[in-house]
Amino acid sequence: MPPDGHVAPWALPTAAIIRAMQARETAARLESFEGRGAGTDAERRAAGWLAKELSDSRHEVVVETFWCRPSWALAHAWHVGLAVAGSLVSVASPIAGGSMLLVALVSLLADVITGVSPGRRLSPERASQNVIVVPSDATVRSTPRVRLILTANYDAGRGGLAYRDPIRGTSALLGRGVRGLTPGWLGWLSIALLWLIAVAIVRLEGHHSQAIGAVQLPPTVGLVLGFALLLELAMADWSLAAGDNGTGVAVAISVARALDATPPHHLDVELVLSGAGDRDEIGLHRYLRARRRERSAANTVVLGVAACGGGSPRWWCSDGALVPLRYTRTLRQLAADIAADEPHLGATPHKGRGTTPALPARNRRLPAITIGCLDSRGLAPRSHQQTDVAAAIDGASVDRAIQFGLLLIDAIDTTVAEGQGHASPAAA
């Protein structure tokens, strides 16, 4: 609730019903663009619809096109395939096999860190688009203000075997069992490569016993299975993606519209709906790279919105497919305070092991955090599955995510006001 004690328009019960209906309509409309994977014609048509839907006299809508190689599964399949070949070759020639394994490891790490690698270069290049909504000149104030970037990706991901509930559920169960202290699938892949490089070194020293072969077998088998899963995923059908991340887009749009009705006092809100965002978040990365001289930790805050189609609201404490990176401490504390003050929302923290919409901003050391909704297993319901349709979206989850987002932005606005000279809540 605002400091003056008045109830904001977005907090009224009627507004909640309208928001849930509008969000489901937005997700259903995005679902209708079947096969809207990164770089597809369906994604371009979805971008055009979003731009038209968001156009009005108070805002400027810009569609920015960029070229990218979004097929991460195919890129990593090349790396894993090279590693499998290296493992087999190392039996006869440890130097040649070990060199192949080392190249695979370096290429894998380069792809994770920079998005550029030999495997990535061997994947097809596609054009994608970011849909950006900025305040018009009439609404931008003359005094310097913090830019709040509200972002979600609108493209769909593929629905391969790796995303089936038995595999996802088992992975989530193991993660909970060790309190999230797992290396993630890229971490396990890196460990397997290091393991095989060590075996190749041992073979180079002249050891060729059956025990060495037995030690080499488990990571090799794991790599073969990973190679098969990655190839299957690279060729799988696109999911309908109404929930992940159609609901993230719907929540971001609803929050932006609510802020139009009750604007923050110290924030300029910019909506960035990114293309090629599934897993790699390439769209937001390109957006921030093009504006690296304008967007700094002193004048920018990024709020990412992940899937909100079911479950309870979460805020991500950390995320990252290989090495988890903690989101901004101040923003995490604001989210925790809201969760304590508004227990009816059921918001809880989450330690992620993937890539959420705000992670590219945190990689650039900008104040950032991601919110969304997850079920009791810590998973986005029906994510990357053909059952991820608008009819299955839980309106209550969507509305709680909207409320949580608005309360968090209100807290950010208050924090900026209190800091004044320290424009952005950029504590590490």
Q: Is 428 part of any domain?
A: no
| Residues 132 and 184 reside in one and the same domain | no
| Residues 292 and 388 reside in one and the same domain | yes
Q: Is 1 part of any domain?
A: no
| Residues 90 and 179 reside in one and the same domain | yes
Question: CA nearest 249: which of 40, 51, 425, 57?
Answer: 51
Backbone angles phi, psi at 369, to 5 degrees: -160, 155
pLDDT value for 138: 43
**Which domain, by its residues, includes 144?**
9-69+125-159+238-419
| Residues 176 and 287 reside in one and the same domain | no
Q: How far is CA 360 from CA 37, 86, 131, 427, in A?
A: 20, 33, 17, 17
| Residues 287 and 141 reside in one and the same domain | yes
Query: Domain holding 381: CATH number?
Result: 3.40.630.10
Residue 367: count other Cβ atoms within 10 Å of its Cβ. 26
Q: Is 145 part of any domain?
A: yes
Question: CA nearest 265: which of 143, 370, 367?
Answer: 143
| Residues 44 and 81 reside in one and the same domain | no
| Residues 312 and 289 reside in one and the same domain | yes
Q: How many domains does the chain have?
A: 2
Q: Is 424 part of any domain?
A: no
Q: Cβ-count burial of 315 within 10 angstroms (0-12 exposed, 13-18 middle, 19+ buried)?
A: buried
Q: What is the pLDDT of residues 328-338, one digit of tens each?
A: 999 999 999 99
| Residues 325 and 380 reside in one and the same domain | yes
pLDDT value for 11: 55
The length of the chain is 428
| Residues 322 and 411 reside in one and the same domain | yes
Q: Rounded distance, CA 9 to CA 258, Å?
A: 8
| Residues 351 and 413 reside in one and the same domain | yes
| Residues 97 and 199 reside in one and the same domain | yes
Exposure string for 118-130, b = 16+ CB within 10 A, e = fewer: bbbeebeebebbb
Question: Which of 213, 235, 257 is the last residue before a domain boundary?
Answer: 235
Question: Which of 210, 235, 260 is the last residue before a domain boundary?
Answer: 235
Q: Is 255 part of any domain?
A: yes
Q: Rounded distance, CA 374 to CA 109, Å?
A: 29
pLDDT value for 59: 82
Mean pLDDT of successive 10-residue stretches along the chain, which has 428 residues = 52 66 91 97 98 85 97 97 97 96 97 93 97 71 78 96 82 62 84 96 88 95 96 96 97 94 92 96 97 92 97 96 92 98 96 93 96 95 95 94 96 88 54
Question: Which of 235, 254, 272 is the last residue before a domain boundary?
Answer: 235
Q: Is 284 part of any domain?
A: yes
Q: Is 338 part of any domain?
A: yes
SS (HEC) of 185-204: HHHHHHHHHHHHHHHHHHHH
Q: Is 2 part of any domain?
A: no
| Residues 85 and 23 reside in one and the same domain | no
